[in-house]
């Protein structure tokens, strides 16, 4: 797709064709398989002040929690017992968990379970990420949120876009499978900035790309903002699929927060991953990045089962595999265009 075609697609001029093409490419690469990532949101403490997020440090209307190590390990065990091939450890930017402590958790989870581990811990040091890689973590998720540097700085309380980008490229160089993404429909974004987001993310050659809609949180500076357009979020993920055939692309939880049916729809429009939350009952409602988060998912003991049912309802197959990104295998063999014509379906 060239820039003109992307703009046409973003404007909704070709929804039916766009979604069909995205689904066909997804089917060619991943078949019917949908990868399951079990998220454990182990702390809602955060030292950042992102204007869009309910976990931001200045939000005092929130019961903060930190899970103890044995609870995190029990939850990981629960996830793998239910058939999760990947565990995602996510938290606010909570530096009270030392690098050694996170490393010990990774080692312990890997010792007990044949799973891949994704870290979504925010702006930790590159030395820490290198250490966690040596402990066995395979993947990182660090979203750019917006690729407009000025807006990034404004919405993330003065933080530097180039520092975030440097972190992402360094993680790639360390050998991590790296995921990034943006929030669709943040204030002060428009169709041109969305086009730039899509091109920027695609140029990064990511293993995973997430693009969920902005959900305003009342206890944040953007609480009165307009919610991200759901259809636009579908268009963005479909375009990303066409431009990035081998990337894992999740049907985001933010889509599900609006309406659970949206995630099923996304699985037919180019997405191939679901990320159910396994966060324990006593905490899951306090992980309020945005309103509605974790409200619609089932409780942890049945969360994976629930996700599998959702996938089956969509006529697709929940995959127990780790769901490694096929991008690396193919990047050096053929051009992405080949994925639109040949079946490159993988089960790793
Ligand atoms: N602290 C880490 C990880 C937790 S935040 C980090 O920031 O990287 C996980 C993701 O939640 C963020 O990357 C952001 O994309 C998303 N998020 C936060 N607030 C949101 C909102 N109001 N609407 C939609 N997504 C939001
Ligand atoms: Fe903290 Fe991440 Fe929320 Fe920003 S998006 S306030 S870093 S949890």
- CA 186 to ligand 2 centroid distance, Å: 15
pTM over 0.75: yes
Q: Is the pLDDT of residue 33 over 80?
A: yes
Q: Higher model confidence: residue 3 or residue 331?
A: 3
The mean pLDDT of the chain is: 92
Which residue, 141, 67, 137, 140, is CA-closest to 109?
Answer: 137
pLDDT for 296 equals: 60
**Residue having the nearest C-alpha atom to atom 5 of ligand 2:** 53
Q: Is the pLDDT of residue 209 over 80?
A: yes
Q: Where are the alpha helices (DSSP H) in 179-229?
A: 191-203
Q: What is the CA radius of gyration of the chain?
A: 19
- Whether 156 lines ligand 1, by a CB cut-off of 6 Å, is no
Degrees (nearest 5) of the Cα angle 288, 289, 294?
Answer: 55
**For 315-337, what is the mean pLDDT?**
73
Q: Is the pLDDT of residue 265 over 70?
A: yes
Question: Residue 265 corresponds to which tokens in the numbers above?
Answer: 């729809």
In this structure, which ligand is nearest to the CA of 155?
2
**For 210-229, what is the mean pLDDT?**
95
DSSP code per residue over 127-148: HHHHHHHHHT--EEE---B-S-
**For 210-232, what is the mean pLDDT?**
95
pLDDT for 221 equals: 96
Q: Is the pLDDT of residue 342 over 50?
A: no
pLDDT for 235 equals: 98
Q: Is the pLDDT of residue 280 over 60?
A: yes
- Whether 51 lines ligand 2, by a CB cut-off of 6 Å, is no
Which residue, 288, 295, 209, 318, is CA-closest to 46?
Answer: 288
- Whether 92 lines ligand 2, by a CB cut-off of 6 Å, is yes
Ligand 1, pocket-test mutation among 53, 140, 155, most atoms within 8 A of CB: 53
pLDDT for 325 equals: 84
Which residue, 248, 250, 149, 175, is CA-closest to 206?
Answer: 248
Ligand 1, pocket-test mutation among 88, 143, 147, most atoms within 8 A of CB: 143
- CA 166 to ligand 1 centroid distance, Å: 19
Task: Name the strand (E) or helix (H) holding 320.
Answer: none
200: Cβ contacts below 8 Å, ≥ 6 apart? 144, 147
- Whether 154 lines ligand 2, by a CB cut-off of 6 Å, is no
**For 68-89, what is the mean pLDDT?**
94
- Whether 258 lines ligand 1, by a CB cut-off of 6 Å, is no
- Whether 48 lines ligand 2, by a CB cut-off of 6 Å, is yes
CA–centroid distance for 222 within its chain: 21
> What is the spatial distance between Cα 206 and Cα 197, in angstroms, rounded to a whole number?
13
pLDDT for 339 equals: 44
Lowest mean pLDDT among 54-68, 180-194, 298-312: 298-312
Q: Higher model confidence: residue 31 or residue 256?
A: 31
- CA 212 to ligand 1 centroid distance, Å: 10
The DSSP bridge partners found for residue 266 are none
Atom of ligand 2 nearest to the CA of 123: 7
Q: Is the pLDDT of residue 127 over 50?
A: yes
**For 8-28, what is the mean pLDDT?**
96
Question: Residue 25 corresponds to which tokens in the numbers above?
Answer: 């490419």
- Whether 250 lines ligand 2, by a CB cut-off of 6 Å, is no
pLDDT for 328 equals: 66
- Tens of pLDDT along 153-162? 999 999 999 9
**Residue having the nearest C-alpha atom to atom 6 of ligand 2:** 56
Question: Residue 242 corresponds to which tokens in the numbers above?
Answer: 């066409």
> What is the spatial distance between Cα 322 and Cα 115, in angstroms, rounded to a whole number?
6
> What is the spatial distance between Cα 76 and Cα 151, in angstroms, rounded to a whole number?
36
- Whether 46 lines ligand 2, by a CB cut-off of 6 Å, is yes
Q: Is the pLDDT of residue 334 over 90?
A: no
Q: Higher model confidence: residue 282 or residue 332?
A: 282
């Amino acid at each position: 797709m060239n820039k003109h075609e992307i703009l046409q697609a973003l404007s909704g001029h070709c929804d039916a064709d766009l979604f069909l093409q995205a689904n066909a490419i997804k089917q060619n690469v991943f078949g019917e398989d949908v990868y399951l990532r079990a998220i454990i949101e182990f702390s809602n403490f955060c030292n950042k002040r992102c204007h869009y997020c309910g976990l931001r440090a200045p939000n005092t209307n929130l019961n903060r929690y930190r899970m103890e190590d044995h609870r995190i390990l029990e939850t990981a065990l629960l996830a793998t017992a239910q058939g999760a091939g990947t565990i995602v450890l996510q938290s606010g930017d909570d530096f009270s968990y030392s690098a050694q402590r996170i490393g010990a958790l990774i080692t312990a989870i890997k010792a007990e379970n044949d799973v891949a581990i994704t870290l979504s811990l925010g702006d930790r040091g590159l030395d820490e990420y290198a250490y966690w890689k040596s402990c066995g973590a395979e993947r990182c998720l660090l979203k750019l949120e917006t690729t407009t540097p000025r807006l990034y700085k404004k919405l993330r309380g003065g933080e530097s876009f180039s520092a975030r980008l440097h972190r992402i490229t360094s993680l790639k160089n360390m050998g991590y499978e790296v995921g990034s993404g943006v929030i669709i429909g943040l204030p002060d974004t428009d169709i041109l900035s969305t086009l730039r987001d899509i091109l920027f993310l695609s140029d990064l050659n990511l293993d995973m790309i997430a693009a969920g809609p902005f959900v305003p949180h009342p206890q944040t500076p953007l609480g009165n903002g307009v919610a991200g357009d759901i259809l636009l979020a579908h268009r963005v993920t479909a375009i990303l699929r066409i431009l990035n055939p081998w990337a894992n692309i999740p049907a985001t939880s933010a889509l599900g927060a609006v309406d659970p049916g949206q995630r099923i729809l996304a699985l037919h429009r180019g997405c191939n991953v679901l990320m159910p939350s396994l966060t324990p009952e006593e905490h899951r409602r306090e992980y309020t990045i945005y309103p509605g988060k974790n409200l619609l998912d089932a409780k942890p003991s049945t969360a994976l089962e629930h996700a599998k049912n959702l996938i089956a309802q969509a006529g697709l197959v929940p995959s127990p595999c780790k769901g490694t990104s096929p991008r690396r295998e193919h990047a050096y063999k053929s051009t992405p265009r080949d994925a639109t014509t040949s079946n490159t379906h993988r089960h790793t």
